[in-house]
Structure 1
Amino acid sequence: MSTIPLLVCDDSNMARKQLIRSLPSNWPLRITQATNGIEGLEAIRQGAGQIVLLDLTMPELDGFGVLARLREEGLQAEVIVVSGDVQDEAVRRAKALGAKAFIKKPADPMQLADALNALGVEIPLTPAAAEHTSEFSDLPNVSFRDAFREVTNIAMGRAANLLSKVLGVFIQLPIPNVNILEVGELHMTLADAQRGQSLTAICQGYIGGGIAGEALLIFHDAEINDVAKLLETQEDESARLEMLLDLASIIIGACLNGLSEQLNISLSQSHPLVLGQHCPIEDLVRINQRRWKRTLAVEISYGLEDLDIHFDLLLLFTEDSVPRLREKLDFMIN
């Protein structure tokens, strides 16, 4: 039976599962999965990727690196990028490197079908979906941590898109870390984010649909002047504090909205507040250790390309929120 070799290259089990389920059922596909760019390239070299559905934010080698290597090695593959990084510059770079289409996560099945049809790939005349449906038994298992990391990845991409427009700079996105932390572990996480510097922290609470928590955005004091220059902010302290509050509202608000949309809940957000200013990490933890005794923590660090500026975002969900999050994610997974 003639089939089309299609590669799904994404480090998230949940993303690969969602993509495979979204593929058109009338295409006879032989599906291969890769969890990073190195694995993906090897699969393409072995002929498993006539069509490639490619994530951008991955370990080992990201999607931009895969596209560049394909060009360098002269490998033939029709690449559709499916990514949570939806910055205009990310789309432009991906297409400049040879991507045929760009679809934002989570992929809409109709958009995916349109992108596949636009490739002009000749579909073999075989019994519909005979090979494709057999692959559903090979769908990856998705853990709570992997699922939550993926929805967070999509949400942080929405926030980065807004931030890039405000600052006029390309935002470099990490792979988010998802952990359930005791306060002592949170202390270590925050200390790592601090990197030995004094910091200013902005906090914004959120609640809704049985889920509650706080978002904590950390600015390194040594970098605030550079941010102020980007935004042409006045040099006085009050103007710079207002700038940080505005940035926090943009980043946290966009990230929470992205989570709300995916989880189908409505999160009410409080006004952002200054939790600590020009202070060491020990003071921040000591003051807040009671309400941070045990928390589901998501760590995200936004980096500004070609600038030594980082924003560390922590989403801290209460322990009571975890069962409701599991319920919502189980529905999405299954």
Structure 2
Amino acid sequence: MSTPVLICDDSGFARKQMARSIPDGWDVSISYAENGQEALECIRQGKGDIMFLDLNMPIMDGYQTMEAIRKDDLPCLVIVVSGDVQPEARERMVAMGALDFIRKPIDNDKLTTLLKQYGIYDGEATASSRRADARLSHAASQDERLDAYRELVNVAMGRAGENLAKLLNEFIDLPIPNVNVIESNELHMAIAEINHNDSVSAVSKGFVSAGINGEALVIFSDANTADMVRMLQYDDEGDELLQLEALMDVSNILIGACLNALSTQLNVSFSHSHPILLGRNRGLDSLLHDSISRWTKIMAVEIAYSIKSRDISFDLLLLFPDSAMEKVYTRLVDMTENNA
């Protein structure tokens, strides 16, 4: 009798990646859910004896889903599959009853080892690249491509959050990345949330490899700068040079970790430019205009990090010109196919 397996992730691309990672020799019937609310309905219908659960989702996230499973004592073994790999995230989910925690993107051999460890599966480690509903296509729609880009960045965002959490010794709240393909003069509308701050500072770093180029910016509300200096335990939070050093340190952590994770997923090696302070105490529009005026159409990825315990927020913005978008998608699909 087939084992009912449920894959819960808001990304269709991620659901396909997870389905392709399930060993071929494991007799399973797979169902899918796009959020925790759908997942709970599936479990109650007997479609989720084992669930692979994402954390960052709309409507009902992984934490809320796990809490509901525990509260209602639902018959489901949960393995978390997430880009958010902060130790506190793992501890919280395991404390609520999750079996284990797997880092995205899935390592097929590690998944098989984990399934064997818990007595769930005892066969070979061959991944199931033949599942009809898990095939990836280069001829994808615009929505499918945006979903793939969002999942690519979701993994990179998690790595950057993990590194920043270690640096600051704080839990970093991670959002669902906001991905838009827009004309460059429309960028300010795509990141309206940042514009709520009248005065910001921004650090920029360019990157390029294998025909893929772009720019990464970290945007800080000037009201948060002193708090970040305190968290970094610098000597004098009022010192202008120390505030600048704090901006550079946090920016290097975020951008470096994010680009390294993108490099791994795309199998490229990015060359980085030196970080540049675009400006202090300026409006966002004037800061961004200098960076993107040379491009006509861009893919803008906004990641709104926050440290709720300190009431601090800042944004990582990844900008790719239209000439790089097709190369990013093609390499992502090829890497996923090759790793299956």
Percent identity between matched residues is: 45
Q: Distance in 2 between matches of 1:62 and 1:196?
A: 28
Q: How does 1:184-263 map to 2 (within 5 A)?
A: 184-233=185-234, 234=236, 235-263=238-266
**Cα deviation code 1:104-140 (max 9, x no counterpart):** 01111111112222333488xxxx9xxx979922337
Distance 1:150 1:289, change over 3 A: closer
Query: In 1, are the aligned partners of 2:94 and 2:100 still within 8 Å (CA)?
Result: yes
Given the superposition, is the C-alpha separation of residues 243 and 3 from structure 1 closer, same or farther in structure 2, using an over 3 Å criterion? same
Tell me the equivalent position of 1:138: 133
Cα pair 1:8 1:16 within 8 Å, conserved:
yes
* 2:98 aligned partner: 99
Q: Identify which of 313, 319, 338 aligns with 1:310.
A: 313
TM-score normalised over the length of structure 1: 0.92
**Aligned-partner Cα distance in 2 for 1:140–1:175:** 24
Cα gap change, 1:292 to 1:219, in 2 (>3 Å): farther
Q: 1:32 to 1:191 in 2, by over 3 A?
A: closer
Q: How does 1:77-156 map to 2 (within 5 A)?
A: 77-121=76-120, 136-139=131-134, 143-156=144-157
Asked if structure 2 preserves the Cα contact closer than 8 Å seen for 1:147 and 1:333, the reply is no
User: Aligned pair in 2 of structure 1 residues 63, 77: CA closer, same or farther (>3 Å)?
Assistant: same
Residues in 1 aligned to 2:129 and 2:254: alpha-carbon distance in whole angstroms? 42
Aligned partners of 1:287 and 1:146: how far apart in 2? 29
**Aligned residue identity for 2:133:** D
**Compared CA separation, residues 122 and 239, structure 1 to 2 (3 A):** closer
What's the CA shift for 1:194? 2.7
CA contact (8 A) 1:3 1:28 kept: yes
| Residue 29 of structure 1: how far off its partner (Å) | 0.5
TM-score by length of 2: 0.91
User: Residue 169 of structure 1 aligns to a residue in which SS?
Assistant: coil
| Contact 1:194–1:220 (8 Å) recurs in 2 | no
Q: Aligned AA for 2:287?
A: L
Contact 1:191 1:281 in 2 (8 A): no
- Secondary structure of 1:171's aligned partner: coil
- List structure 1 runs of 4+ shifted beyond 4 angstroms: 132-135
| CA distance in structure 1 between the aligned counterparts of 2:318 and 2:224, rounded to whole angstroms | 22
- Of 293, 298, 301, the residue aligned with 2:301 is 298
* CA-CA distance at 1:179 after TM superposition: 1.3
5+ residue gaps, structure 2: none
